[in-house]
Structure 1
Amino acid sequence: MRTRRRRVRDPWGNWCDAKDLEGQTFEHLSAEELARRREEEKCKPGKSSKVPRPTKSSFDPFQLIPCNVFSEEKQEPFQVKVASEALLIMDLHAHVSMAEVIGLLGGRYSEPDKIVEVCAAEPCNSLSTGLQCEMDPVSQTQASETLAVRGYSVIGWYHSHPAFDPNPSLRDIDTQAKYQSYFSRGGAKFIGMIVSPYNRNNPLPYSQITCLVISDEISPDGSYRLPYKFEVQQMLEEPRWGLVFEKTRWIIEKYRLSRSSVPMDKIFHRDSDLTCLQKLLECLRKTLSKMTNCFIAEEFLTQIENLFLSNYKSKPENGVAEENCTVGPKELLM
């Protein structure tokens, strides 16, 4: 009797061979945590009695790699259009935590038109294993099911670099490349988006967002595949106001008492007089500025502001679990 191949559901809810999932995990390194520890290592006094041993590898998973830009010689494999709803939720999620946040992107891909439409962003819970942050598998499955109920396919993921450039780390590149390969088996596309709300080098109130894929080109030193970023177009249809409001309520409830929560009443940058909440509202206002009905947009922003003012607290209570992969408040708000 022939042995039957064991079939399981992948994190996206699809049936597949169990061997296809061996060794897979949706993870990326916390750039902030690694940067801090690397600086600590540099500051440690060396021991003169020992000769330093040469390192086996110069691989630094923290290293941020600037994305290449598509050109006439290497054109975009497809266009990327992002709905206002997805931009709003990613910005809201990224702004409230000094830890890296993570989530899934849902939408559709048109092969004839070569267009990826990002229609929704679904925040997920994250786990930490020391220096690595990864998506909680239960939350990941729930998010993919939520997107499926709305008629969307999982077409990517997003995460934040709270106080760093929105460039992928070497581990981000590895994670993105693996999932591109996994999804391409069925002809699907898979993009990555990085949101940087509090980049120290960016005094403007607007978040920096990078949308990327990993190419087959190899870096000059042969250590990684080259990332390329898209010129993203914003879709003009109105978001589902009620849905965004409920996602905001969930985000506030999750992060309001966490030790990683951003103090939304504090000034976000030394060269600005805006608080973190005011900065967030400016980001949302910019996203909504292309909408035709400005009155509805302003009413929505007022409701979001009132929700934060009435429900959000930035000081954790005793016994509240700390968010993982954090960067300290002083380090963030410089």
Structure 2
Amino acid sequence: PSGSEPPSSPQVVEEGGDEEDEELSGGEDAELRTSAGRGSVLTRRGITLRVLLKDGLVEPGDGVLSIHYLGKNFVGDLLTDGKIRWVETGQIFNSPSAWATHCKRLVNPAKKSGCGWASVRYRGEKLVQYKTSWLRKYQPTADMSLASEGEEDEMGEDEEEEGKTAVPAEEKNRKSKTELHGGAMLDHIHTSVSSRIREDPHTLVELSAFSAINRFQPFNVAVSSNVLLLMDFHCHLTTSEVVGYLGGRWDTTTQLLTVLRAFPCRTRLADREAAPVVEEEICQNLFMRGLSLVGWYHSHPRGPALPSLQDIDSQMDHQLRLQGSSNGFQPCLGIICGPYYHGNQGVASTITPFWVVPPPEQRPNDYGIPVAVEVTYVQDNFLTTDVLNEMMLLVEFYRAAPDLVNFSQMWSPDTSILDKIKVLTLTWWWCVSVCVVLVQVDQTQQCCWSF
């Protein structure tokens, strides 16, 4: 029923109150209302959900509270004692600040506070407006600037992810992937929607370090050598951009993301009909192996392994989607592989793991900041048969492709592309015997090696 009390042993969360937005405890609230009455001015911290409930400005109910933050929606019940129960998990929060901060940290772990009264909505209207209504009704002669102290800062900081600015059609289509052909490199991108129209989505962006933006990397990452081998091999086969997914596990206790398997997408980026079938097959493979989706990779065949503006948007979308309905932060790792960029050192590919720090709340349509992720590479003890089989399937898929790499061509004056691919195998393995069939561009000569 509407306004029902929480379960007998709920998990009460008290974290996350802003200094300006922390509500008074029940005892302080009662003492303040009894001694002062409506004839005395309450500061804005004295006006709590309990006050609004007692005076009839809001009513308890199921699903009457909501938060919309960077593309994610959260729904809460308002209980009769002024506490908030998050519908998804049943957790109980003592104040709007605690709930807003908790939810926002699931999307952006670097978030310090929640601006609860400006972020939480009651039946579609921001709670801060109900607080103002209470003041106007019960203390019309009060100094509104004093009583509303700090709310303007909240509103400014949280004039956010409402999507008041219409996104043009060009923006809606920005997720379609095309081959990157280079472009100017920028240090940081914080661009409004109107500026986005003028930006080339293939513009490359230099990665920042977490320390450069006064942040700590919110998670640790370990990637197995089997993942790197299969991913790098996939990216070497074609002159077109390729995409794949990463499977692994996320340990909330150690905050460690372990990437254990790469799942190449054996489909063309423009093939909308085949894509759902391929993705469903990958989902089944993840399930069968007891793995979770933890990230994605793609190639910049002849360009630097740096994210483009389009990649930044795609990564931000993946980060938000990967949150799913789980009660907790889970990172999503993006990796860019640059196999044939002559600016690379030596013959090895450049591998760039990255993550995107969400844009400021007051500018939700800006680009996020791409940051380099520190990764530990773990040497596998053996090459699994499924990885070798996947390599063979990739060769078969690209066998007759017009953009198949001509492995007999020279990569450098003394190194063929075939020799370059051999090097990549040794890059991710100390000593391994691999036999891979590669079909030449003329589709007649098969080349097999073992080392």
Q: 2:310 aligns with which of 132, 157, 171?
A: 171
Distance 1:202 1:56 in 2: 30
Secondary structure of the 1:136 match is helix
Give the superposition deviation at 1:68: 0.9
Moved over 6 A (4+): 23-26, 132-135
Relative to the length of structure 2, the TM-score reads 0.52
**What is residue 369 of structure 2 aligned with on the other side?**
226
**What is residue 14 of structure 1 aligned with on the other side?**
none
Q: Is the 8 A contact 1:126 1:134 kept in 2?
A: no
Q: Which amino acid aligns with 1:71?
A: S
Give the superposition deviation at 1:56: 9.0
Say which structure, 1 or 2, has more relative contact order (CA 8 Å, 6+ apart). Answer: 1
- CA displacement, residues 97-140 of structure 1 (integer Å, 9 cap, x when unaligned): 001011110000111111111100011134444xx999822211
Q: 1:258 aligns with which of 390, 401, 426?
A: 401
**What is residue 208 of structure 2 aligned with on the other side?**
68
Assess, with a 3 A threshold, how the Cα gap between structure 1 residues 203 and 268 changes in structure 2: closer, same or farther. Answer: farther
Give the superposition deviation at 1:74: 1.4
Give the superposition deviation at 1:213: 1.0
Point out where structure 2 has 5 or more consecutive residues left out of the alignment.
Answer: 1-170, 185-194, 445-451
Distance 2:422 2:298 in 1: 20
**What is residue 358 of structure 2 aligned with on the other side?**
216
Distance 2:323 2:419 in 1: 41
User: How many aligned residue pairs are there?
Assistant: 257
Distance 1:170 1:250 in 2: 32
Is 1:278 the counterpart of 2:419 in the alignment?
A: yes
Give the superposition deviation at 1:258: 0.6
Assess, with a 3 A threshold, how the Cα gap between structure 1 residues 135 and 166 changes in structure 2: closer, same or farther. Answer: farther
Q: Is the 8 A contact 1:108 1:155 kept in 2?
A: yes
Distance 1:171 1:133 in 2: 19
**What is residue 341 of structure 2 aligned with on the other side?**
199
Listed as ranges, the matches of 1:52-63 within 5 Å are 57-63=197-203
Distance 1:253 1:25 in 2: 31
Is 1:90 the counterpart of 2:231 in the alignment?
A: yes
Q: 1:29 aligns with which of 177, 194, 199?
A: 177
Secondary structure of the 2:356 match is strand
Q: Which amino acid aligns with 1:58?
A: R
Assess, with a 3 A threshold, how the Cα gap between structure 1 residues 116 and 180 changes in structure 2: closer, same or farther. Answer: same
Distance 1:26 1:106 in 2: 26
Secondary structure of the 1:254 match is helix
Q: Is the 8 A contact 1:28 1:175 kept in 2?
A: no
Distance 1:160 1:133 in 2: 19
Q: Which amino acid aligns with 1:194?
A: I
Give the superposition deviation at 1:205: 0.8
Is 1:113 the counterpart of 2:254 in the alignment?
A: yes
- CA displacement, residues 154-176 of structure 1 (integer Å, 9 cap, x when unaligned): 11111110011111111111111
Q: Which amino acid aligns with 1:211?
A: P
Distance 1:134 1:62 in 2: 25
Q: RMSD of aligned C-alpha atoms?
A: 3.0
Give the superposition deviation at 1:313: 2.2
Secondary structure of the 2:306 match is coil
Q: Is the 8 A contact 1:126 1:133 kept in 2?
A: no
- CA displacement, residues 249-300 of structure 1 (integer Å, 9 cap, x when unaligned): 101101122101011111123xx411111111111101112xxxx3xx1x22
Give the superposition deviation at 1:242: 1.6
Distance 2:310 2:442 in 1: 32
Assess, with a 3 A threshold, how the Cα gap between structure 1 residues 128 and 118 changes in structure 2: closer, same or farther. Answer: closer
Distance 1:89 1:24 in 2: 32
Assess, with a 3 A threshold, how the Cα gap between structure 1 residues 25 and 133 changes in structure 2: closer, same or farther. Answer: farther
Q: Is the 8 A contact 1:30 1:133 kept in 2?
A: no
Give the superposition deviation at 1:26: 11
Secondary structure of the 1:118 match is strand
Q: Which amino acid aligns with 2:441?
A: S
Point out where structure 1 has 5 or more consecutive residues left out of the alignment.
Answer: 1-22, 39-54, 318-334
Assess, with a 3 A threshold, how the Cα gap between structure 1 residues 184 and 157 changes in structure 2: closer, same or farther. Answer: same
Give the superposition deviation at 1:89: 0.4
- Give % identity: 28
Q: Is the 8 A contact 2:355 2:370 kept in 1?
A: yes
Give the superposition deviation at 1:315: 3.1
**What is residue 440 of structure 2 aligned with on the other side?**
313
Give the superposition deviation at 1:24: 9.8
Distance 1:106 1:143 in 2: 9
